Structure 1
Amino acid sequence: MAPLRISFLIRSVYNLLPSNANLVRWGKKDHPTCPLCHGRQTTEHVLSSCKVALSQERYTWRHNRVLQELASVISTAKGQFNPPLPSFTIFTTEGGAKKWRRRSNTAST
């Protein structure tokens, strides 16, 4: 794993990422507010609980990018250098129901 990724993981576990709440605690900022929702911006808030980021599907985009990276690494390890992308994506909604979303024809990766 790359050193920067390891550093990010360790800093996130120990709440040492530069969220606005931490910057206030460290004397680097005056206000701990989130620029999107104006709530208190903690590490948890940034990574998973900002309501505005959730409504704008920012977490969904990040989730999908992580899954694409995992699929790429697994495919490379199996000797498949250009894995085919499925024509649809399955999401699980907050209540647990499955939601199918057809992939647009303009997407090319």
Structure 2
Amino acid sequence: MVPLRISFFNRSVYDLLPSNANLVRWGKKEDPSCPLCQDRQTTEHVLSSCKVALSQGRYTWRHNRVLQELASVISTAEGKIHLSVFTTEGGVENGKQGRSQ
């Protein structure tokens, strides 16, 4: 999985992900609009700017999934650290970190 994550990171940084805007630019699609909000769907739009995705909690879900994955990796790697971090619906962060005995 690590090479796939590195590839995704590189492609997102250099705007090479298959967003609708890129697919139009590459001649693979005719409409660059976002299926959720009808704005131009760029990589930035998909990853952090779609107002509809934000209002539906999609970014919060993705954020929490990333934190869960990080906590799992840290917990597995260390075997001693248990990390629980979450963000409430209002955006307030709450985290607890402890070491098991």
TM-score normalised by the chain length of structure 2: 0.80
- Give, in whole Å, the separation in 2 of the partners of 1:46 and 1:78: 34
The sequence identity of aligned pairs, in percent, is 72
Give the unaligned 5+ runs of structure 2. 95-101
Letter in 1 for 2:18: P
Match of 1:65 in 2: 65
Match of 1:34 in 2: 34
Give the unaligned 5+ runs of structure 1. 101-109
Between Structure 1 and Structure 2, the one with more strand by share is 2
List 4+ stretches of structure 1 deviating above 4 A.
Answer: 83-86
User: Secondary structure in 1 aligned to 2:31?
Assistant: coil
- Give, in whole Å, the separation in 1 of the partners of 2:89 and 2:35: 28
Work out the number of aligned pairs and report it: 94
- Give, in whole Å, the separation in 2 of the partners of 1:31 and 1:63: 28
User: Is this contact kept in 2: 1:92–1:99, CA < 8 A?
Assistant: no
User: Secondary structure in 2 aligned to 1:36?
Assistant: coil
Match of 1:15 in 2: 15
Match of 1:105 in 2: none
Between Structure 1 and Structure 2, the one with more helix by share is 2
- Give, in whole Å, the separation in 2 of the partners of 1:10 and 1:79: 30
Letter in 2 for 1:30: E
Match of 1:76 in 2: 76
